[in-house]
Structure formats: structure tokens, C-alpha cells
Structure 1
Amino acid sequence: MSTDPSALEREMEETRQRLAGTIDQLLHRASPKTVASRQAWSIKAHYVDPATGQPRTDNILKTVGTVVGVAAAILVVRRLTA
């Protein structure tokens, strides 16, 4: 580290620039639009293979089975309490 005032100013300006870039990256990553896009991509990747574009039938069938099971359980509980 130098004691030259101009060198210190230059180092401070470089540090400010790096911090500004980091803050911009963090703001982009945390923006609601970016977060929603990342989540949508994640969900799509769960049901469609990104490499081939083919549907992942095993994951689709698991989800459908879960939805049908929950719906059936709700119907049974309603009938028993009615």
C-alpha cells in the first residue's frame, strides 16, 4: 500500500467501482422479476428435460398422483364429517 495521495485516491476509486459492480449484481439477482424467472425455469426443468426438451413423465405422474390423492382425501374427510 502506498502513502502517495494520488495512489490512495486511485485505489479508493477502484474499490468504489468494484463495490458498485457488486451492488448492481446483487440488485439484479434479488429483483422480483429475476427471482420469478429463475423459479419458473426451475419448475419447468423439473417437468421438461432441458437437454432434450422431452417431458419427464415420471415427475409429471408423481405430481398428478399427489394431486389426485389429496383431492380424494379431502372428499373422504368431507363425506365422513357430513
Structure 2
Amino acid sequence: MNQSDDLVREIDEIRDRLAGSVDELIAAVHPKSLLKRGIDSVKSRFVDETGAVRTQVVVPVAAGVVLVVVGAVVTRRILR
């Protein structure tokens, strides 16, 4: 092989690596990928690796939601 063949082969290899990197970046920032990672992140906070609900997290969140709803209802009734 001569030097130009080596350069062509090296350029082809670099082009292939770059194409793979660009494809990975596109997949990483695709809206469906972002949504799936977000959902997985939220799920991991409320469910452990075995699929069991993390009650130490769920109970306070549920209590907070109930308090906000009750507060909104009470405020609305007072302001009427």
C-alpha cells in the first residue's frame, strides 16, 4: 500500500467513527429519549430495583398533594 491509500483508509475510519458519534448524539437528544429518561428518573424515586413501592417517599409526596388540594379548596371557599 502506498501513503495515499493509508490516508484514504484512515479518513474512512474517522468518518465512520464520527458518523457513529453523531448518531449517538441524535439519539440522546431525541424527544422520545429525553421523555423516557425523565420517566425512568421519576420512577426510580418511587419504585426500587425490585419493583416495590418506596413508601418512605410516596407517603410524604401523597400527603403533600392532599395538603395542597385541601388548602386550595379551603382558600377558594373563604374567598367566595
TM-score, structure 1 as length reference: 0.81
Amino acid at match of 1:81: L
State the distance in 1 between where 2:39 and 2:51 align: 16
Task: For residue 26 of structure 1, report the CA deviation from its aligned partner.
Answer: 1.0
Amino acid at match of 1:73: G
Name 2:5's counterpart in structure 1: 6
Task: For residue 78 of structure 1, report the CA deviation from its aligned partner.
Answer: 0.9
SS in 2 for 1:19: helix
Q: Gapped runs of 5+ residues in structure 2?
A: none
SS in 2 for 1:58: helix
Q: Deviations over 1:15-73 (max 9, x none)?
A: 111100001111111222222222222221111111x3211001111110111111122
SS in 1 for 2:78: helix
How many residues align structurally? 78
Name 1:19's counterpart in structure 2: 18
State the distance in 1 between where 2:46 and 2:8 align: 53
Task: For residue 76 of structure 1, report the CA deviation from its aligned partner.
Answer: 2.2
Name 1:57's counterpart in structure 2: 55
Q: CA RMSD in A?
A: 1.4
Identity of matched residues, % = 36
State the distance in 1 between where 2:48 and 2:53 align: 6
